[in-house]
Amino acid sequence: MGKKYKYVLFYKPYGVLCQFTQDNPTRTTLKDYIPITNLYPVGRLDWDSEGLLLLTNHGQFQHRLCDPKFAHPRTYWVQVERIPTEGAIHQLERGISIKNYHTRPAKVKLLSTPPNIGDRNPPIRFRKTVPTAWLEMTLTEGKNRQVRRMTAAVGFPTLRLVRKSIVNLQLNDLQQGQWRYLMEEEIRVCYDTIYSRSS
C-alpha cells in the first residue's frame, strides 16, 4: 500500500461539484472542503447528489474500483415520489432498459423508516398530496444519472439521492461536509475486496 498513497472519505453535500477546479464561480467544489492536493475522486457523484465520496492519489486502486467489469457494490439511499409498488421494485431488481442499455440486476428494498441523515439544504420539493418513500439500492455499475433514470423509468422519480457505501466503506458518523483519512484496517479490507476478483 505504501505511505505515499492517500485515501480520504468525504460526505459530499448537495450542490458541490465533484472536482477541485473552479470553473463556475457560483458553484462550490471539493476544494472548498478538502485542503489536500493531488487527490482524485473514485467515480463521481452528480452535483445534486450527496453522500460518500472516496478520493485517492493511487491510480491503480482508483481504476480497479471504477472499472465496471469488477462489479464492486455501491449502495444508495433514494427518496422517491410516491410509494413504489412491489412490481416496480422487482423491475428495478431485474434491471431497467434505458435508451440502448439494460442495467444490471440490483438489490432494492423499501425502507420502513427514513435513514438518519438529516435534512438537505435546500430541502426537496414538498407536496402535501404526494407521499414520498425511501429505497435502499445496491448497484454494481455507475452509468451517468443511473439511479435517477431507473426510478423514473418505473414511475417513481428520485427526489433525493445519498450514497451510503462503496464496497466496505460506510458513511457511519461522517456529517455533511466532513472528511477523514481511511484507517489502515479499512484500506486493508478494501484492498482484499477489490483485488479478490479476477482481473
Name beta bridge partners: 163: 51, 76
Q: Please, are residues 79 and 132 in contact by the beta-carbon 8 Å criterion?
A: yes
Cell numbers standing for residue 7: 485515501
Going along the chain from its start, the domains and CATH numbers come out as 7-68+167-194 (3.30.70.580), 73-165 (3.30.70.1560)
What confidence category does residue 199 fall into, taking pLDDT thresholds of 50, 70 and 90?
A: very low
pTM above 0.85, yes or no: yes
Express each pLDDT in 66-117 by its tens digit: 877 778 899 999 999 999 999 999 999 999 998 889 999 999 999 999 999 9
Say yes or no to pLDDT of 57 above 70. Answer: yes
Express each pLDDT in 120-171 by its tens digit: 988 888 888 899 999 999 999 888 899 999 999 999 999 999 999 999 999 9
Q: How many residues make up the chain in this entry? A: 199
Q: Choose the catalytic residue: 23, 46, 48, 173.
A: 46
* DSSP single-letter state for residue 44: -
- The answer to whether 192 is a known catalytic residue is no
Q: Please, are residues 148 and 161 in contact by the beta-carbon 8 Å criterion?
A: yes
Say yes or no to pLDDT of 195 above 90. Answer: no
